[in-house]
Copies of this chain bind each other. A is one copy, B any other.
């Protein structure tokens, strides 16, 4: 990434100018920069310098930069702001950004923010905070353009020019009648229309795709992405327009949701902080619960091993194949579970598909299991018998291992595809049913199959 280098050059330039107190030059550089870049540069600096730097930039740019910073820097800045400075920044924020900030701050900072926000903003923030976490309502913004159906295109453009300044997007305008959402027009349609006197109601698209305030934010993102919209309108239970979710917020949600899924799938509690900002204790807290839980569940595997201790003592050679069988089972299961979890979270699969999914996985498992056990048989014959000359690895042992392999892969794939779908149906996060969990289950089952088959083949004869 070229940016990293750029940032460190910028940071050192800014620092030099700051030390030499060349504030006008500093300001000149900062105003040409993009807020996201200023924020990246500021994040690299010593925290004590932030307030000085911040006061150098014009208030609109300052607010935009503020939004782009990490929450701990934001907190620090707010604590450093005077009441009037805080008010100035708040006045420039979009409501959804203000809400995002409020959600991350400790109670005493929130109190100060709400005290300094003007009454309208305070009311809007409180309204949005009432929606459940991860709902469409909680991520929407209320700064959008509405038009009335009886306006002409000319009226509409005038209205956009008059009210568009503080809207998060003007490019899709929503047509409402008694606050109910009845259609939408795009600025492209308005600009490219041949006749300015056409009425909005005659040109608007009445097939409006929208979300409800209580819909999951993941659904919002899927809709927005499916229809390639710049923004998706959000309505309340009476179909009244109450907000919009813009594509840039949707992209952030998409990234967060993917990260969250990946973390949960790897047996971690999801974290919102970027890695370099997370402390060792943060990492510990997010990782230890699953490690402990999974370690304790491995007790069952231990108990199974103990039960077959005599078999093992009689044929120690069996132990040598346990890691391979367990790993292959775990890998097969996690392939299926991860495929299904991703398909569920992209909305490609529903619970009603479960029979078809199991049937497909079962057939795949037979193919994979047979291929694996042929390879495994060849490996045993070649490596263990021909090369290592291990006299304990008999043909029967090889058969035991290969048969266990096929059965384990089948069980693993079926469990791997079934559990996430059941979890989703029961209202849990399917991502929990990924590799670590599946591996622990498959371990226990594969051991039982292994010793079961060994009992039949090796100890009966």
Tell me if A206 and B32 are in contact (CB < 8 A). yes
Tell me if A375 and B296 are in contact (CB < 8 A). yes
Tell me if A281 and B225 are in contact (CB < 8 A). no
Tell me if B375 and A292 are in contact (CB < 8 A). yes
Tell me if B275 and A328 are in contact (CB < 8 A). no
Binds B, one of A85-93, A133-141, A184-192, A233-241: A184-192
Tell me if B207 and A225 are in contact (CB < 8 A). no
Q: Given the known A-B contacts A164-B192, A280-B364, A335-B287, are A372 and B292 also in contact in the complex, defined by CB atoms under 8 Å?
A: yes
Q: Given the known A-B contacts A266-B435, A335-B287, are A375 and B295 also in contact in the complex, defined by CB atoms under 8 Å?
A: yes
Candidates B32, B250, B290, B328; contact of A251 at CB < 8 Å: B250
Binds B, one of A13-21, A115-123, A297-305: A297-305
A46 within 8 A of partner (CB): no
Complex Cα distance, B153 from A347, in Å, reads: 44
Residues of chain A at interface, number, CB under 8 A:
121
Q: Which 10 residue pairs of A and B lie closest in terms of their CB atoms, listed nearest first?
A: A298-B324, A266-B338, A228-B248, A258-B258, A305-B320, A301-B323, A275-B343, A284-B367, A283-B364, A280-B363
Please list the residues of chain A having a beta carbon within 8 angstroms of any beta carbon in chain B. Answer: 1, 3-4, 32-34, 36, 157, 160-161, 164-165, 170-171, 187-188, 191-192, 206-207, 209, 219, 222, 224-228, 230, 247-248, 250-252, 254-255, 258-259, 261-263, 265-268, 274-276, 280-281, 283-284, 287-288, 290-292, 294-296, 298-299, 301-303, 305-306, 309, 312-313, 316-317, 319-324, 326-328, 330-332, 334-335, 338-340, 342-343, 346-350, 353, 356-357, 360-361, 363-364, 367-368, 371-372, 375-376, 379, 383-384, 388, 390, 434-436, 439-440, 443, 447
- 20 A-B contacts (beta carbon < 8 Å): A32-B207, A34-B209, A225-B255, A230-B247, A247-B247, A247-B251, A254-B254, A255-B258, A265-B266, A274-B348, A287-B364, A291-B328, A291-B331, A291-B332, A292-B375, A294-B331, A295-B379, A303-B388, A305-B322, A305-B323
